[in-house]
Amino acid sequence: MKLELGYIFIKDIQFSDVSKVENGTLYVNKEEVKALILEDQNFKKADVELAKPGESVRIMPVKDVIEPRVKVEGPGGIFPGMINKVETVGSGKTNVLKGAAVLTTGKIVGFQEGIIDMTGPGADYTPFSKLNNLVLVCEPIDSLKQHEHEKALRFAGYKVALYLGALAKNLTPDEVEVFETPTLVEGLKMYPGLPRVAYVFMLQSQGLLHDTYVYGVDAKQSLTTMIYPTEVMDGAIVSGNCVSACDKNTTYHHLNNPIIHDLFAEHGKTLNFVGVIITNENVYLADKERSSYWSAKLVEFLGVDGVIVSEEGFGNPDTDLIMNCKKIEAKGIKTVLVTDEYAGRDGTSQSLADADASANAVVSAGNANEVIELPPMEKLIGHVKVADVIAGGFDGSLHKDGSITAELQVITGATNEMGFNKLSAR
């Protein structure tokens, strides 16, 4: 399967009468976006704001971050099974508004994680402070149940992302990157001397605000299976996971999966990137066992020499991570795990909730318990009322001057376990 990603670099975002992309600036018609959101009658009010790199802006609580993309050539549409039909994606050409993102915010449940600061120390911890963001602030109708609110918000985000993505359909990309995965048989012939590597991609799947969807199917209900790496680039996997901010994979992370990109970078040179296995992280123990046996079985069947395993979340996914590691290593296949740590505020606690001697190659995305000070920002986008009301409504406390003492956990994407960032710990 071969996909050409065409990047249109966005350096600025502004409101305008006509939505378009011109000279690297994304112009957005605010009213059209609002109308799009309000098509869903579950929302009584919608507002759209801009948040640009370097501005003294704090956005919270952030639910998802989505990158605008559009299918230019080839079968299917972005976010298959969600917004578009279920036809297989991942081939042909796709254009990307690189440097832009759609952010959804929403007080779906009581805990208010998910902060993005566009400047200051907090900005260093999240990749989203470097993007030109269109922030959706949507008010649900009263009495909307949490399930429905989450779903409505999720779809609002995808709809707006597709609306923006469509603006790039006929543009000539500034840069093109080509990704190609041969079939198993072709690959064997093309790269006989290279080590065979696969990516075992663990997806959060535990319930409300903890779900991931693959072509619209709840990962919770799915057996471990395989997917082409380029399908992920077209939005085959999307996030319904809002917890916790620092180590959940936003849809943006899924679209830009760094492990997939970095494996492709070496594909055909130092390794043969055979494919991607997706597996879940259910809370039911027998499911964990079943899924990890399945991962190990598929990995062995593919005849790979080594795998990278990434997890999503905290606590019980550590058990899935270790199960996958143990079972795969037991088959003589080497593993490298990517995870974050919860080593306590002083860094001395046991970082993972599970462990095994076979997990001898681990990449760490940092200690999420580290306490940081976020200075006050001039503008707050999202749910200001909540921020005002409770000191300590955040992890730590919101001080009178608007500054926040909190653990790294609250910052969206801070300790991403796909290895998106450079933060680590020793």
Partner 1 sequence: MIITNNDWVFNKYKNSLNVVYIDGTFKDVLIAVRDKLHMGHELLTHPLGSSVKPSETPYKSIMITDNKNNINFNSIYMIENAIITYDKFNKDKLKFINEKIAEDLKLIDLTVLESALNI
Partner 2 sequence: MMKIVHYINQFFANVGGEEMAHIPAEVREGIVGPGLAFQQAFKDEAEIVATIVCGDSYFNENMDEAKKTIIEMVKKYNPDLFIAGPAFNAGRYGVACGTIAKAVKDELNIPVLTGMYVENPGADMFKNNIYIVSTKNSAAGMRDAVKKMAPLALKLGKGEKIGASSEEGYIPNGVRVNFYEKERGSKRAVKMLLAKLSGKEFQTEFPMPDFDRVTANPAVKDITKAKIALVTSGGIVPKGNPDHIESSSASKYGKYDIDGVTDLTEETYETAHGGYDPVYANQDPDRVLPVDIMREFEKEGKIGSLHRYFYTTVGNGTAVKSAKAFAEKYAKELKADGVDAVILTST
Q: What is the contact surface with partner 1 in residues (CB under 8 A)?
A: 108-111, 113, 146-147, 204-210, 220, 241, 243-244, 247-248, 282-288, 313-317, 319, 342-345, 349-350, 353-354, 369, 390-396, 409
Distance of CA 219 to the CA centre of its chain: 15
The number of CA neighbours under 13 Å toward the Cβ of 284 is 7
Say whether residue 277 binds partner 2 (CB under 8 A). Answer: no
User: DSSP characters for 139-169?
Assistant: EEPTT--HHHHHHHHHHHHHHHHHHHHHTTT
| Residue 401 CB coordination number (10 Å) | 8
Say whether residue 362 binds partner 2 (CB under 8 A). Answer: yes
Position among 10, 28, 168, 263 found at the interface with partner 2 (CB under 8 A)? 263
Partner from partner 1, partner 2, none contacting 308, C-beta within 5 to 8 A by type:
partner 2
SS3 label, residue 157: helix
Say whether residue 242 binds partner 2 (CB under 8 A). Answer: no
Please tell me the distance from the alpha carbon of residue 306 to that of residue 333, in angstroms, as a whole number.
5
Position among 250, 251, 324, 367 found at the interface with partner 2 (CB under 8 A)? 367
Q: Is 325 one of the catalytic residues?
A: no
Q: What is the DSSP letter of 84?
A: B
Letters for 330-359 (x = contact with partner 2 by CB under 8 A, - = none) are ----x-x-xx-x-x--xxx-xxx--xxx-x
The distance of closest approach from Cβ of residue 192 to partner 2 in the complex, given in angstroms and rounded to an integer, is 16
Footprint on residues 287-326 left by partner 2 (CB under 8 A): 305-308, 310
Nearest to partner 1 of 25, 403 (CB atom) = 403
Please tell me the distance from the alpha carbon of residue 28 to that of residue 17, in angstroms, as a whole number.
7
Q: What is the DSSP letter of 269?
A: T
Say whether residue 420 binds partner 2 (CB under 8 A). Answer: yes
- Give CA angle at 239 (236, 242), nearest 5°: 180
Nearest to partner 2 of 152, 423 (CB atom) = 423
Say whether residue 271 binds partner 2 (CB under 8 A). Answer: yes
- What is the rounded end-to-end Cα distance, in angstroms, of the chain? 39
Partner from partner 2, partner 1, none contacting 266, C-beta within 5 to 8 A by type:
partner 2
Please tell me the distance from the alpha carbon of residue 179 to that of residue 275, in angstroms, as a whole number.
12
Residue with tokens 């400047």, as numbered in its chain: 119
Whether the CB-CB separation of 276 and 201 falls below 8 Å is answered with: yes
Please tell me the distance from the alpha carbon of residue 347 to that of residue 203, in angstroms, as a whole number.
27
Nearest to partner 2 of 352, 410 (CB atom) = 352
Whether the CB-CB separation of 229 and 199 falls below 8 Å is answered with: yes
By CB under 8 A, name the binding residues for partner 2: 195, 197, 258-259, 261-263, 265-266, 270-271, 305-308, 310, 334, 336, 338-339, 341, 343, 346-348, 350-352, 355-357, 359-367, 370, 408, 416-426
Residues involved in catalysis: 242
